[in-house]
Structure 1
Amino acid sequence: MAVVQNQGVEIFFEDSGAGPPVVLGHSFLCSGMMWREQVAALGARFRVINPDLRGHGRSGHVTRPFSLYDALSDVIAVLDQLSIERATWCGLSIGGMVALRAALTRPDRVAGLILLDTDAGPETGLRKLKFRAMGAGAGVVGLRPFVPSIARLMFGATTRRQNPTLVSEWKRQFASLHVPSVLRCLEALMRRDSLLGRLDQIGVPALVLVGEEDRSLPPPLSRRIHDRLRHSTFGMIPAAGHLSPLERPAPVTEAILGFLTAHAN
């Protein structure tokens, strides 16, 4: 078990494979296990760093407010411990938001970007109301009553219909999350700043992927990131929702490997 301490929080990570480094960033409510198919495929040719976001997976719980920039500092602390100066950052949802902030505030640490099912804008007012109401309820009764709604946001209709075993596996994980940590992370997402006016400052190559059935952060949000980046390739993952690496691992892995082969060296 590899850990690093940052801002009083223990950050768990896995370090596997050999080659140009790639650092992964998972979705809100998930863990590094979300990338299990990609880690297995990438490890033959790349060094894969796979941390758990603070408050998620095997990382430490959080009870104090934090920002996406604090989450970024967690990843930098992991890279520092491993003496990795630059890496390709591959992030989904909140992981992609952290990766974008790395490219803007720590460009010396970013060799390229792979952004999946994410957003560069601020949270909208209606969604803030919806998610804060859900958070208030979870603070009283726990996450279990909200798990069916969470699963509908996370998994596309095709996956829910064709792969109920996968959905059930992650429902159990959603229900087991540490509620105070989830609420602190949710608040960090709700308070995030907009990066839309700064995306043209990012000079590294980027790959932007999104599941065509993503209801949480729908495809137009990924498309506008692609449109504002200077060196971006865009791809739609068919029959996938928000968690495209889990729902359609083969096309996601193929796209990531293709990008890394072209740019990571």
Structure 2
Amino acid sequence: MKTFSTGKIAIAYDDHNPEGVEPPLVLVHGHPFDRSMWAPQAAHVGRSGRRLIVPDLRGYGGSTVVTGTTPLRTFAQDIAGLLDHLGVAEIVLGGLSMGGQIVMEFHRLFPDRLRGLVFADTAPQAETEEGRRARNALADRLLREGMDGYAEEVLPKMVAPANIRRFPALAEHVLGMMRTTSPQSAAAALRGRAERPDYRPSLSRVRVPALIVVGGDDEFTPIGDARLIHEIIPGSELVVIEGTAHLPNLERPAEFNEVLSKFLDSIPQER
């Protein structure tokens, strides 16, 4: 693990195969996880010879704990700062769930730095009024109770129940990421997501290759959300991974990796 500082915040990250194939792939984890959720992709992409950069978002994993409200814009700016620190101009950027919305925000702010986009189990719409109330209420709950009860409650939505039974080590990994996330940081991210904009207008201006992947049984961001992104982005590819919920990259890593590799191979090394 390495770290890079932006102001008083230290961002932890891994830079796999730094001399590898360009453009690098950057993967952004979801909430309430950390960069270890991309371990199967790190192993696979590393074998392909491509450079892979995987950060812990501020407040998560090995990065500095934060409080208050963390807008998606702040997360996206942190990624841009990390790229500047590493001297990386252009990337393929992917993210899952909240990470996918951070990818949308990065595209809105820094479209010229992108060579490709990967959206996994995410949604582009602005939060509804009901959703804002729910996210803020959950933030309050996490600050009162901590992460354990919430983690147990949402596990069967994060990972399909059949996969929890079949792959107990996977379930423990997901539970571990959720339980060890700082409640303060999780609450700050929830409050930031509650105020997210509608990304549909900016996604309609995507002019780089885009891959959309979704678990066939995802309840948090169902197939309809993935289809919406697919319809908005000209020429995008949509893949549904059956038998998975919100974390297809962990539940069916071989299938996810195959789809990801084909997409990466289609992107020229130079513009």
TM-score normalized by the length of structure 1: 0.95
Tell me the distance in 1 between the aligned counterparts of 2:75 and 2:7: 10
Tell me the distance in 1 between the aligned counterparts of 2:239 and 2:36: 23
Q: Is the CA contact (8 Å cut-off) linking 1:88 and 1:264 kept in structure 2?
A: no
Match of 1:9 in 2: 9
What one-letter code is carried by the residue in structure 2 that aligns with 1:39?
A: A
Match of 2:45 in 1: 42
Match of 1:24 in 2: 27
Distance 1:128 1:180, change over 3 A: same
- The DSSP-based 3-state class of the residue aligned with 2:3 is strand
Tell me the distance in 2 between the aligned counterparts of 1:101 and 1:141: 30
Match of 1:67 in 2: 71
Match of 1:148 in 2: 152
- Give unmatched runs, 5+ long, in structure 1: none
Match of 1:174 in 2: 178
Q: Select which of 214, 229, 243 maps to 1:225.
A: 229
Q: Does 1:202 align with 2:168?
A: no
Tell me the distance in 2 between the aligned counterparts of 1:121 and 1:213: 20
What one-letter code is carried by the residue in structure 1 that aligns with 2:9?
A: V
Distance 1:264 1:238, change over 3 A: farther
Distance 1:129 1:153, change over 3 A: farther
Match of 2:83 in 1: 79
Match of 1:242 in 2: 246
TM-score normalized by the length of structure 2: 0.93
- The DSSP-based 3-state class of the residue aligned with 1:263 is coil
Q: Is the CA contact (8 Å cut-off) linking 1:112 and 1:264 kept in structure 2?
A: no
- The DSSP-based 3-state class of the residue aligned with 1:84 is coil
Match of 2:129 in 1: 125
- The DSSP-based 3-state class of the residue aligned with 2:266 is helix
Tell me the distance in 1 between the aligned counterparts of 2:9 and 2:222: 32
What one-letter code is carried by the residue in structure 2 that aligns with 1:144?
A: D
What one-letter code is carried by the residue in structure 2 that aligns with 1:234?
A: L
Tell me the distance in 1 between the aligned counterparts of 2:175 and 2:132: 23
Tell me the distance in 2 between the aligned counterparts of 1:264 and 1:69: 28
Residue 63 of structure 1 and its aligned partner are, at CA, apart by 1.4
Count of residue correspondences: 265
Match of 1:258 in 2: 262
Q: Is the CA contact (8 Å cut-off) linking 2:34 and 2:177 kept in structure 1?
A: no
- The DSSP-based 3-state class of the residue aligned with 1:201 is coil
Match of 2:190 in 1: 186
- The DSSP-based 3-state class of the residue aligned with 2:93 is strand
**CA RMSD between the two structures:** 1.4
Tell me the distance in 2 between the aligned counterparts of 1:97 and 1:234: 17
Q: Does 1:33 align with 2:36?
A: yes
Q: Describe how 1:45-60 pairs up with structure 2 within 5 A.
A: 45-60=49-64
Q: Does 1:115 align with 2:119?
A: yes
